[in-house]
Amino acid sequence: MNGSGQGIQLILLILIMGLFSAEIQAQDYVKVLYEGAELHHKPDDGSEERIPVLQGDIFEITDYDTEWVAVSLFSGETRYLKHTSLEFMYNQYAEIDLPVIDPEMCVKIEETRKNSEEKAYSTWPDHLDKRIQKEKYLFDKNVMKIFREAGISAIYPSALMQCANDSIAPQIIEF
């Protein structure tokens, strides 16, 4: 396993543990108001690596300014949403009851992690920073799709903790 794969696994574990311990604290969220909104790697980056979001998707806010809202996704990477496509939900309490993740979903997530790593490596074999960025983008995009297909909101990235107890965690701590 190359360094970027281990890096994303470590980030996943830290993110999952951090979100799991912070679930009963009040948080600020945004709800997507319109179809066609997209998560950007950076505000106004012009990149084609955008992740489409659906009307009604809810994300935890990590930062914001007058034009962009920063949210954190499954890889721990910060992504940005255009402020005008969102409704703010301030001082809300996170759900304590997490959705149940079945073992097949955990297998899909682990396969997504491996596929993201392989595709990023084949795209950027000699550029570590670009490879890590691509890997996180692919992972976030595909895990969001898996969550959607299972009817789980992106607001529950800590639901991955259930998978961490199975297939993801042993590889995350393996150095």
How much is the pTM?
Answer: 0.69
Classify each residue of 83-92 as buried b or exposed e, where b means 16 or more C-beta atoms within 10 Å of its C-beta.
eebbeeeeee
| pLDDT value for 156 | 64
Q: What is the pLDDT of residues 9-55, one digit of tens each?
A: 656 555 555 544 444 455 788 889 988 889 998 887 777 788 888 88
Chain centre to alpha carbon of residue 86: 18
Average pLDDT over residues 122-144: 88
Domain with CATH 2.30.30.40 in the chain: 25-93
CATH code assigned to 25-93: 2.30.30.40
H-only helix segments in the chain: 3-21, 103-123, 128-149, 161-163, 169-172
Spatial separation of the C-alpha atoms in residues 172 and 174, rounded to whole Å: 6
Contacts of residue 2, Cβ cutoff 8 Å, sequence gap at least 6: 117, 121
